């Protein structure tokens, strides 16, 4: 069984370590596919562009622009991918969630946190696997074997859940792939038209045909990757703006019309909470687009956030001081 990751698994045998390692094979495949998209640009397109610069058909300023933007996109993609893999998604602690939370302020409990969501039977949501109650928007992951705060989904390509702790890095990862992919497409097409004389008419007849074919395939592959990941990133952002996750969206699709309207209203109210989960307290633009770890300081969180989405009981009471 290739289950678990470094955040949940503690192997004690060789078989356990092998199983844990196997879980990261999809991560290696993802990195390899990204590299397969990048390497032709460096190994075939840029040398051809450099030759065009030496021949006077292109400027060296454009050549260095292509290099700098491509390297920046690569750094952002790989750094955010690694951070999404190795950052804990945010597991719900046992203390105080072994105790029943307060439902819409209607009861007193040893658990100071408040919930607004009930299960299908109208009861407080309880995880029979973790033996504890669940905060709003938290769900159990069968692979991580834990309940995750604001769980969106478990992604096999990062061998990790996408939750409160790493959702920003996951969003930036899928968001910077189109940046790099479309950079490859636009710069390659621009150079093929303006910098490489007769590129299309002589691609298979003269010169290095293999280089021309690889550049063409690179443009095609980058276009497919760019559009696919752009659609995924926009979908993720759209759900965040609505205060939804993939799991909550799926649950909402099964609700009755009268329940659905109430749920949509609550999601709209939770939008500011979701943005806090994504980007933290400091939401200046450059911190939002760079892989800075979000500052989830509960003392500076939006009003009502700490009461519903805080951590342990100690965290909650310390923020009342």
Q: What is the pLDDT of residue 131?
A: 94
Residue 90 buriedness (CB in 10 A; 0-12 / 13-18 / 19+): buried
User: What is Dmax (Cα atoms) for the chain?
Assistant: 81
Contact 94, 132 (CB under 8 A): yes
Q: Nearest-CA neighbor of 89 among 167, 20, 203, 158? A: 167
Which positions of the chain have pLDDT values less than 70? 1-4, 105, 107-108, 200-208, 258, 311-321
Q: Where are the beta strands (DSSP E) in 131-247?
A: 132-133, 139-141, 146-148, 153-155, 160-162
Q: What is the pLDDT of residue 218?
A: 95
Q: What is the pLDDT of residue 262?
A: 73
- Angle at which helices 209-241 and 25-40 cross, to 10°: 130
Q: What is the pLDDT of residue 210?
A: 82
Question: Distance (Å, rounded) from C-alpha 109 to C-alpha 309?
Answer: 16
Half-sphere exposure of 85 (CA within 13 A, CB side): 18
Q: What is the pLDDT of residue 196?
A: 85
Q: Where are the beta strands (DSSP E) in 6-81?
A: none
Q: What is the pLDDT of residue 199?
A: 73
C-beta atoms surrounding 5 within 10 Å: 21
Residue with tokens 């460096």: 42
Q: Nearest-CA neighbor of 5 among 94, 87, 128? A: 87
Contact 148, 91 (CB under 8 A): yes
DSSP 8-state code for residue 213: H
Cis previous bond, 261, omega within 30: no
Question: Distance (Å, rounded) from C-alpha 198 to C-alpha 282?
Answer: 51
Q: What is the pLDDT of residue 25?
A: 94
Q: Nearest-CA neighbor of 158 among 170, 141, 149? A: 170
Q: What is the pLDDT of residue 313?
A: 42
Q: What is the pLDDT of residue 91?
A: 94
């Amino acid at each position: 069984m290739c289950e678990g990751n470094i955040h949940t698994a503690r192997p004690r045998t060789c078989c356990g370590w092998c199983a844990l390692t196997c879980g990261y094979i999809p991560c290696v495949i993802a990195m390899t596919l990204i590299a397969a998209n990048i390497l032709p640009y460096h190994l075939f397109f840029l040398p051809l562009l450099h030759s065009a610069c030496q021949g006077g058909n292109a400027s060296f300023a454009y050549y260095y622009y292509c290099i700098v933007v491509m390297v920046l996109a690569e750094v952002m993609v790989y750094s955010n991918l690694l951070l999404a893999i190795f950052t804990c998604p945010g597991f719900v602690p046992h203390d105080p969630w072994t105790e029943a939370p307060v439902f819409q302020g209607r009861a007193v409990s040893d658990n100071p946190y408040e919930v607004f969501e009930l299960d299908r039977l109208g009861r407080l949501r309880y995880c029979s696997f973790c033996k504890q109650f669940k905060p709003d928007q938290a769900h159990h992951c069968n692979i991580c074997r834990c309940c995750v705060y604001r769980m969106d989904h478990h992604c096999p390509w990062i061998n990790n859940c996408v939750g409160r702790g790493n959702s920003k890095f996951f969003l930036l990862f899928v968001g910077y792939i189109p940046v790099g992919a479309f950079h490859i497409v636009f710069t390659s097409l621009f150079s093929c038209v303006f910098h490489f004389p007769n590129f299309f008419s002589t691609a298979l007849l003269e010169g290095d045909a293999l280089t021309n074919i690889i550049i063409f395939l690179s443009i095609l592959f980058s276009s497919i990757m760019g559009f696919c990941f752009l659609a995924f990133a926009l979908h993720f952002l759209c759900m965040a703006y609505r205060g939804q996750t993939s799991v909550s969206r799926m649950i909402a699709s099964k609700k009755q019309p009268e329940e659905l309207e109430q749920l949509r209203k609550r999601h709209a109210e939770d939008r500011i909470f979701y943005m806090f989960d994504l980007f933290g307290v400091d939401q200046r633009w450059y911190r939002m687009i760079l892989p800075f770890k979000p500052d989830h300081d509960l003392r500076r969180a939006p009003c009502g956030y700490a009461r519903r989405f805080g951590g342990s009981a100690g965290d909650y009471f310390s923020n009342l001081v």
